[in-house]
Chains A and B, each alone.
Chain A
Amino acid sequence: EVLLLESGGGLGQPGGSLRLSCAASGFIFSSYAMTWVRQVPGKGLEYVSTISDNGGSTFYADSVKGRFTISRDNSKSTLYLQMNTLRAEDTAIYYCAKDVGSNYSPWNDWGQGTLVTISS
């Protein structure tokens, strides 16, 4: 069974930093691209970032480019999202997701999400 468990959310300061983690199990982590998607509570889904299976390619939404960094440690089956220069509009539930095995999408396995709240 595929399991994705996000952690690292919580209250952050505007201008500050947070690092999210997503611990994966139940599949060969190093064989799949991984993605972060976020959702303001009660609102729609927003694509954030994708990393290829070997970490060699990364992609970002314009809204986070230059502030967020996606990375992975295949030896630990863990995905990360380093979030810097945080803004109030980064407040959201952050989901990690695993693709079906090609083209970076779609995403057939999702974590339960971790809530990030940016407020002073």
Chain B
Amino acid sequence: EIVLTQSPGSMSLSPGERATLSCRASQSVSNSYLAWYQQKPGQAPRLLIFGASSRASGIPDRFSGSGSGTDFTLTISRLEPEDFAVYYCQQYGSSPPFSFGPGTKVDIK
């Protein structure tokens, strides 16, 4: 089973700043099948990025994903007030069971 590690565990930033979130896999993720989700308190997760770099429908272009193999990055170019949330990476590079990272909390400085 692929284990995902996210760093940092949390970050405090101001609106307008750039956020860079990291996700590292214990082994190579096939086909870069790595997704990112955003979750706000009391809400279900929301798919942001799939295939490491493709934005899901309706996701603003300030969100971008990159990476391959074992190292992946989610970048939020300029934080909007609604972007403060927890972000999870998830791999789906092989047959289930799939795995999530532990999450990175982005809060307001």
Contact = CB atoms under 8 A, between A and B. Distances in A.
Interface of A: 35, 37, 44-47, 49-50, 59-62, 95, 100, 103-108, 110-113
Nearest to A108: B47
B95 A45 contact: no
A44 B96 contact: no
A-side binding surface: helix, strand, loop or mixed?
strand
Contact of B50 (A45, A59, A100): A100
B14 interface: no
Interface string B79-109: 0000000001010100111111111000000
B50 A106 contact: yes
Contacts of A45: 37, 39, 45, 88, 90, 100, 103
Nearest to A93: B44
Nearest to A103: B92
A44 B103 contact: yes
